[in-house]
Each structure stands twice: as C-alpha cells, then as structure tokens.
Amino acid sequence: MNTILTTQCADDVGLIAKITGLCHQHNLNITRNNEFVDKDAQRFFMRTELSVQPNSEFLTQLEGLLPTGAKVTLHSNEKTKVVLLATKEAHCLGGVLLKQFEQALNIEVLAVIANYPNLAPLAKGFDVPFHVVSHEGLSRAEHDLQVGDLIASYNPDIIGLAKYMRILSPEFVGRFDGKIINIHHSFLPAFIGAKPYHQAFERGVKIIGATAHFVNNELDEGPIIMQDVTHVNHANTAEMMAKMGKDVEKTVFCKALQLASEHKLFINGNRTVVFS
C-alpha cells in the first residue's frame, strides 16, 4: 500500500481540483482516488493514494486551501494498531488473529483484553499478549476505567470488540470516540433481548446476519460499517443458526477491520462512507 491521504470537510466548489492540484505541484502521483459528497449534510470525503510520501509542508498547505474545520490525515504504510476486547467466544477473536498470522490483514494486534480468562490459550497460540480484567467486584465505571487505562497504554488506532459481552459506559465510549468497532448479530426482522437466535428460530426466519458498526453514545447502535447474511432453513435449529451466525460475524468483523486498516472508513454523522 502507498501513502494514503484522507480528507473530510464541509463541501465546497473545486475541492477535488484544489487537493489534486496541490498534489500535482508537489509531484505526488495519485494512483487511486475516491471521493464522495453527502449533498444533504454538505460534507466532502476523499481518500487519495499517493505513490510518494509528501514532504512536511504538504499538509499545512493543504489545510490552508480547505474550509475551516477540515480534517486531513496522512497514513503511511505502517500497520494499523489494534487492541481487541473479548469475553468467552472465540470466533471473532480467532478470525482476526488467524488473518494477522496469514498476513492477510495490514494490522498489528497489540493485545487482547478480556473479562474472563477462557481465551488466553488462543491469544497465546498466536503470540499475542492477553490480559484478564475481571469485572467481578467492580462497578461498571471502575471496570471501564481499568480496561480503558490498559487500552490507552497500548495507544491503538482501533479497538475491536470481538464479542465483548459488556455494556460500555458513555465515559468509555467518549474516551475512544470514533475508534471502537463492534460486531453483532442481525436479523430480518430484528429481535430485541435475550436469546436472539432462539427468537429468530421461533419466528421462522430464512436469513440471519451480522452488522459491524462504530460505537457511539448517540444511538443504540452507531454508524454501520458492513453487513452480511447467510441463508437458513426450517431444518436448522436455534443452535445451528447460532453457529452459522458466528461464521457471518467472523467474516464481517474481519472485513470491517480490514477497511479500517486500509483507511477506507469515514464516519459521516450516523452513517459511514466506505470506499471499497
């Protein structure tokens, strides 16, 4: 991968011309470019792959050309740093660790933090540090603070909730605003509450799915990154559906982390822009 420039700002006339014009002045060859304008929100998003790394003045000059409040970032070819949170279920955690091992994802999992010790062998098998921060005897605020401090000590780019079965406090979410990616099951229609696969089975659905999304404080469920589904039938028990659903969760979670690591994800209010 090349150096990636990401730009997001209020929309204006001539933004592409300004940005690519400055690249041209700096002799930066653009090998790939994606942009999107949200007309309703009047927001501009652009991802630009450059074959050469710009010099130190480039970003300052660029900011000078763009509307106030523009957010421009240069991402070098380094791996995206990820801390994964988990509880007891192995599929999403294992899926990411295996992909890292295969060198199929441009990420580095710095650590796994879990509120139970069950998945320690899995992390250790892939030589990734594993920390247990038990919630026993702690208030939610206390536990979130301990976990948050441990995360912060790694300074990750992304925090992946690999089936972390804890409700997060607003303080925790705010501390890592825009960096937390979660995965959960999804159904047509949706089922609220406990044992969703049993509810889906009872309702006789023919499709089950999974949604990866950013976590924020404004919503039950933050901006959706990616969704996928699999077909089920009358002969599938709730247990089989849960197993099939885990496969979809694993796939969708890995792809969401891949998009993040390739700097193709932008949060746009309650939605996302995904350059795939």
Residues that bind a copy of itself (CB under 8 A): 13-14, 16-17, 20-21, 23-24, 27, 29-39, 89-91, 94-95, 98, 101-102, 104, 121-122, 124-127, 186-190, 202-207, 209, 211, 221, 223-229, 231, 233-235, 243, 246-247, 268, 270-274, 276
Closest to a copy of itself by CB, 133 vs 225, is 225
Q: Map the chain to HEC letters.
A: CCEEEEEEEECCCCHHHHHHHHHHHCCCCEEEEEEEEECCCCEEEEEEEECCCCCCHHHHHHHHHCCCCCEEEEECCCCEEEEEEECCCCHHHHHHHHHHHCCCCCEEEEEEEECCCCCHHHHHHCCCCEEECCCCCCCHHHHHHHHHHHHHHHCCCEEEECCCCCCCCHHHHHHCCCCEEEEEEEECCCCCCCCHHHHHHHHCCCEEEEEEEECCCCCCCCCEEEEEEEECCCCCCHHHHHHHHHHHHHHHHHHHHHHHHCCCEEEECCEEEECC
CA 159 to chain centre: 7
Instruction: Identify whether 220 is a catalytic site residue.
Output: yes
Closest to a copy of itself by CB, 33 vs 146, is 33
Closest to a copy of itself by CB, 131 vs 163, is 163
Minimum CB separation of residue 140 from a copy of itself in Å reads: 25
Minimum CB separation of residue 206 from a copy of itself in Å reads: 4
Minimum CB separation of residue 269 from a copy of itself in Å reads: 8
Minimum CB separation of residue 170 from a copy of itself in Å reads: 21
Encoded tokens for 54: 């710009």
Closest to a copy of itself by CB, 27 vs 68, is 27
Closest to a copy of itself by CB, 115 vs 186, is 186
Minimum CB separation of residue 179 from a copy of itself in Å reads: 18
Q: What is the dihedral of CA 172, 186, 195, 162, to 10 degrees?
A: -40
Closest to a copy of itself by CB, 29 vs 153, is 29
Instruction: Mention every residue, 6+ apart, whose C-beta is less than 8 A from residue 56.
Output: none
Rounded to whole angstroms, the Cα distance separating 26 from 249 reads 43
Among residues 127, 220, 228, 247, the one annotated as catalytic is 220
Residue type, 239: E
Minimum CB separation of residue 75 from a copy of itself in Å reads: 18
Residue positions annotated with a catalytic role = 220
